[in-house]
Amino acid sequence: MSHSQIASPEGLALVARLRDFCTKLPVVEEKVDGFGHTTFRVKDKPFIFVGESDDQVSTSFKTNLTTQEFLLGQDGTPYKKTPYIGQHGWVSIMNIELVPWAEIEDLIVEGYARTAPKKIVQQLKATMS
Write the CATH number for 28: 3.90.1150.30
Evaluate whether residue 127 is within a structural domain: no
Of 109, 58, 53, which Cα lies nearest the Cα of 85?
58
Q: How many domains is the chain partitioned into structurally?
A: 1
Range of the domain at 31: 9-122
Per DSSP bridges, beta strands 79-81 and 56-62 are unpaired
Helices 9-22 + 101-115 axis angle, to 10: 60
Whether residue 42 is contained in a domain is answered as yes
Please report whether residue 78 resides in a domain: yes
Provide the pLDDT for residue 125: 78
Does residue 117 form part of some domain? yes
CA distance 24 to 83: 29
Q: Tell me the C-alpha distance between 129 and 114, whole Å.
A: 18
Could you tell me if residue 33 is inside a domain?
Answer: yes
Contacts by residues 12-21 (CB-CB < 8 Å, ≥ 24 positions apart): 14/50, 14/57, 14/59, 14/96, 15/50, 17/101, 18/48, 18/50, 18/59, 18/108, 21/105, 21/108
Percent of the chain with pLDDT over 70: 96
Quick: pLDDT tens for 55-84: 789 999 999 999 999 999 999 999 999 999
Pairing of strands 38-42, 45-53: antiparallel
Percent of the chain with pLDDT over 90: 83
Do the domain assignments include residue 29?
yes
Q: Is residue 1 part of a domain?
A: no
pTM for the predicted model, two decimal places: 0.91
Please indicate, yes or no, if residue 67 is contained in any of the structural domains.
yes
Mean pLDDT, 10 residues at a time, the chain of 129 residues = 77 96 94 94 96 89 95 95 95 93 96 94 78
